[in-house]
Amino acid sequence: MTEHEASDGRSGVARRVARNGNGKAPQLGGNGHRPVTRAMILAAGEGTRMRPLTDRMPKPMVPIAGRPLLEHTIENLAEAGVREIAINLHAHAGVIADHLGDGSRFGVKITYSFEPRLLGTAGAVKALEHFFAGGPFFVVYGDVFARLDLGQLVQHHRDRHALATIALRRPDDVTQCGIVEQDDDGWITGFTEKPASVEDETDTWANGGVYVLEPGILRHIPDGIEQDFGRDVFPALVRTGRAIAGFRADGGCWDIGSMGRLRQVDLLFRSSGLASPRRQSIGRAVGEYLTKVAGAVDSLDRGCIVRAAELLLDARARGRRIYIIGNGGSASTASHMAADLSRAALETDGLPLNCRCLSDSMAIVSAWGNDVGFDSVFERQLTQLVEPGDVLVAISASGNSPNILAAVELARTHGAYVLGFSGFGGGLLAKMADVAIVVASSEYGPVEDLHLLLNHLLAAVMRRLDRRQVEEREEIEDDEPAFAAAAAGL
């Protein structure tokens, strides 16, 4: 940041004070609910405090986690819905323009504004007044690493009908910057530069270098002269009772004003301590989903899984067939399971396993569906195939799919055994199956995840047992497999 930037007042700190001295509420700026799709990134500073690093690159291009600071800023804006960004340039202008290009790889359009003479933070925005005429816009300082939720900042701005809203941060040292005073309702009422002390340092806040502004604020910035928001524009507006709101974004903004601060932020980001709002939301969603899946895994009935394995192993030992059915995602699981169980049996160098998925043939499924009805696509196939002692593996997340239940009913009338995979409390399938494994979830994702896990688990059991173990059953008779004998004793 250059010396003239340091006098901007952006490092000012906010604390609560009384209402405006004249006793009047701030004048409100018209706002509406127009989307914020444009932004200005102030990147013209010379970065004197970070030399020698900034002798060869502009400060907004310093690396954080191996990527330029500007890339992080642009991505944060794009995630908030910004589609057009203006960037002012001065020192090392070509480095920024050559690296960012037209912005298309970030999903935005970038316009550059070169300043032969520095115009200050507000003067730079005033020079592009036509660019910001259409509605509210963001202003972000190029040497600020921001990870606040810009959507919340905009909502605060709209709720207050403010002319300008400033994101506030907690300062490291209040004596090294100004303080931004706020009334009890959060309106900014004044600025105090570098106080010797404050009454309550825990309730002091610094300007975070991220704003939401209404186009009307540009009428208060003179043309053609150097003007800064914190030093010139905001204090003048506050004195006339204009509506300047403060949004407390604790832990959301960091001024990369020194090499020490750059190292601090870089380490925090690499440790995921400064994840973007989108990344934080993604992380929460990932954690919540995995917690649901883990809970469903923990609630699986191990005894039912053992009985399911016994049922499949008995069918293999007796040379019976295994048929697997399912719809949609469950059809994919059924196909996967047929392949895994067949291969697992071969890998043990033991008895073969005759395993077939009835969801695989689109020609057969569509023929029966078209000619008879979708509810009969599996039942009609089984009518020609199933024999006593065979096993039908029926996979239905809800447990109530009509074509699954029709096939189950037919299998039972033909003397076949039924292994059912379901969720959502089990449905009718859990009541009709000889062995029912019900996933304790009412969401399709976790239910289908665990059905695939059960496939892999049963295939793993098949691989672990050699021929002797498969054949080692208590007096396996042709008319009563060991599973049936064991089930009768339960």
Summarize pLDDT for 199-211 with one digit per residue, the tens. Answer: 655 567 877 788 8
Among 28, 31, 30, 32, CA closest to 240: 28
Q: 436 φ, ψ to 5°?
A: -120, 125
CB atoms near residue 321 (< 10 Å): 17
Q: Judge whether 186 and 25 are in contact, CB under 8 Å.
A: no
Q: Report d(CA 312, CA 455) in Å as an integer.
A: 12
Q: What is the DSSP string of 409-456?
A: HHHHHTT-EEEEEE-TT-HHHHHH-SEEEE-S-SSHHHHHHHHHHHHH
Q: Calculate the CA dihedral of residues 142, 144, 145, 149 and round it to 10 degrees.
A: -100
- b/e per residue 296-312 (b: at least 16 CB within 10 A): beeebeeebbebbbbbb
Q: Judge whether 446 and 461 are in contact, CB under 8 Å.
A: no
Domains and CATH numbers, the chain: 3-275 (3.90.550.10), 300-488 (3.40.50.10490)
Predicted TM-score (pTM) of this structure = 0.51
Angle at 99 between CA 95 and CA 104, to 5 degrees: 145
What is the full per-residue pLDDT of the chain (490 aa) written as tens digits?
333 333 344 444 444 343 333 444 444 444 446 678 889 998 887 655 656 655 566 778 877 777 788 888 888 888 888 899 998 888 777 788 888 888 888 889 998 888 888 888 888 888 888 888 888 999 998 888 777 788 888 888 888 888 888 888 777 666 666 677 878 777 888 877 666 665 655 567 877 788 899 988 888 898 888 888 878 888 888 887 768 888 887 666 667 665 666 676 666 666 655 555 666 677 788 889 999 999 999 999 999 999 999 999 999 989 999 999 999 999 999 999 999 999 988 887 667 889 999 999 999 999 999 999 999 999 999 999 999 999 999 999 999 999 999 999 999 999 999 999 999 999 999 999 999 999 999 999 999 999 999 999 999 998 887 555 555 554 444 444 444 444 443 3
Measured distance between the N- and C-terminal CA atoms of the chain, rounded to whole angstroms:
79
Summarize pLDDT for 446-490 with one digit per residue, the tens. Answer: 999 999 999 999 999 988 875 555 555 544 444 444 444 444 433
